[in-house]
Structure 1
Amino acid sequence: MRAVVTRTFGGPGVLEIVDVPVPAPGPGQVRIRVQAAAVNPVDTATRAGLLAQAGLMAPRDTLGIGWDAAGVIDATGPGVTAFTTGDAVIALSDRLDVPLGTHADHVVLDASAVAPAPAGVPATHAATLPLNGLTAAQALDLLDLPRGATLLVTGAAGALGGYTVELAAHRGLRVAAVAGTADERLVRDLGAEWFVPRTSADLPAAVRALVPGGADGAVDAAVIGPRALEAVRNRGAFVAVAGGAAPAPLRGIRVANVWITADGTQLAELSALAAAGRLTPRVAGVLPLTEAAVAHRRLDEGGLRGRLVLTP
């Protein structure tokens, strides 16, 4: 089978398409024939060596790329009862230091990282759900805000930010969304009550003009750090989505990083919301697996709305 790997760190050109044996599932595992796999910032950071530099992964001769997958189970290991061959599923590979990722023809994962695919949603769209949807849900879990509380979401028009806005609105939170001016209609349709242009000269003041005293919490999907923290009220809550991006917990604000974990039960809940039209997968483009380097280059350039998706 084919898989996207890197043997050295650098730009998109270091990615290789290699032929490797089809892996076999072990106890408690399933093998998925991948139909679609989203490309995320963690993939480009892995390829560039940023995660290794941060000490988040050990050196490895060959490193697999890819976290998200949508496809069909074509083999199950001993002890698996929740899934069977032929099931359409979505899944998350949440380990960094692996020889094979989801950007491949097949991937083997623990059954606990897998959930039924959302009915009626194409695999290319369903593949955008695991990493970004779970990150959004787990960030909101960390904030632990009550219904009716106010939430600031930066990068609200992006893949992660968009899911965060929708899930927050679904949980009864009042959302102030920061995005580009052209994206105001989009983020309001996703459920934002207030819109704040990201080009605001004084972002905290713009947020506080809408939410007096500051927002009860914030999910900083745009990784702007202190500027977003300044828009949160005293003793509020703040969640950073990238390692090392959490600002100092000033003014008694509870600050945390969300460290994503694969959770098949929570992913199944997100899948059901997507099937019901309560979550909106957005695809910026679809490319064959052989154009993984092109996808990385486009993601590095920025400005995408939604995720690029590879189709093996």
Structure 2
Amino acid sequence: MRAMVVRRFGGPEVIEPADVPVPEPGPGQVRIRVAAAAVNPVDAATRSGILTEAGVIPPREVLGLGWDVAGVVEAGTGFRVGEAVIGLRDRIAAPLGAYAERIVLDASAVAPAPAGFSPAEAATLPLNALTAAQALDLAGTGRTLLVTGAAGAVGGYAVALAHTRKLRVVAVAGAADEAQVRTFGAGEFVPRGPDLADRVRALVPGGVDAVLDTALLGLDALDAVRGGGEFVAFAAGAAPLPLRGIRVRHVWIRADGARLADLTAAGVLRPRVADVLPLSAAAEAHERLAAGGLRGRLVLTP
């Protein structure tokens, strides 16, 4: 079968096709015929070698790409053959990822595909939805929450999920994204730019209880948090010092099919697909991801 892999680090041009054996599921696993795989920033960080340099991925001769998958069960346990599912591959050092015609996942990492979504739409959900939900779990019990990068995939889901928890959400994004971000559930909006903390504190005197810093603003976002509050970082090396007694924590995503099923069944997450490309165009997708300006995820289809 065909898969897209990297054998050396670099730009999008290092992504190459490979003919690999069809993987066989072991106990407690399922094999999925891939219908769609989302392209995420973590894929670019894997391809470029950033995650290996940071000690997140050990050196490997071959690395697979792709975390998110939507497809149909072909074999294994826990799901019916032919059942439409979504799932998350969180073992990023594996030689085979979701950029492939088939993938084997632990059954615990898989959930039924949400009704009413195309495979491309469904494929954008697992990584971003679980990251947002698990980050909110780390944000403590305060009532005011700042979300940076609120127009992005993770940030938008974080706003929507925080709104369902009845939190007061202050969202940060580009000025042109305000209307859309408010539809996610943000009660207040601050355009990105200089003096962020001062502008947030003008809305929330004393500072917010917690921040989900999906835009990796670091100290600028930390300064908007009250003393003793919570700061959730989203990338290795992106966490600021824990000044003023603020607890700084990383969200390290883990696959959780049961949680994913609950999140998609709730009906509050709106998938956003920027474009759909063939699997062979993975390098082009990474080029477009690096260029920025996307609203939603690029999706690859075998």
TM-score, length-scaled by structure 2: 0.98
Kindly state the Cα deviation for residue 144 of structure 1 after the two structures are TM-superposed: 2.5
Distance 1:158 1:56 in 2: 23
> Does the alignment pair 1:49 with 2:49?
yes
Give the corresponding residue for 1:117: 113
Q: Give the RMSD, CA atoms, in angstroms.
A: 0.9
Mapped contact 1:207–1:231 kept (Cα < 8 A) = yes
Kindly state the Cα deviation for residue 271 of structure 1 after the two structures are TM-superposed: 1.6
Kindly state the Cα deviation for residue 87 of structure 1 after the two structures are TM-superposed: 1.0
Give the corresponding residue for 1:177: 171
Give the corresponding residue for 1:310: 300
SS at match of 1:233: strand
Among residues 88, 101, 104, which one is paired with 1:92 in the alignment?
88
SS at match of 1:294: helix
The alignment of Structure 1 onto Structure 2 pairs a total of residues equal to 302
Kindly state the Cα deviation for residue 215 of structure 1 after the two structures are TM-superposed: 0.7
Deviations 1:37-59 (A, max 9, x none): 10001100000001111111222
1:126-205 aligned at under 5 Å gives the runs 126-146=122-142, 149-199=143-193, 201-205=194-198
1:1-312 aligned at under 5 Å gives the runs 1-76=1-76, 80=77, 82-146=78-142, 149-199=143-193, 201-273=194-266, 276=267, 278-312=268-302
TM-score, length-scaled by structure 1: 0.95
Amino acid at match of 1:292: A
Distance 2:21 2:288 in 1: 30
Mapped contact 1:115–1:271 kept (Cα < 8 A) = no
Structure 1 unmatched ranges of 5 or more:
none
Deviations 1:217-269 (A, max 9, x none): 00000001000000011111110011111111111111100000001111111
Amino acid at match of 1:284: A
SS at match of 2:70: strand
Distance 2:109 2:35 in 1: 17
SS at match of 1:284: strand
Distance 1:145 1:127 in 2: 31
Mapped contact 2:140–2:210 kept (Cα < 8 A) = no
Structure 2 unmatched ranges of 5 or more:
none
Mapped contact 2:120–2:276 kept (Cα < 8 A) = yes
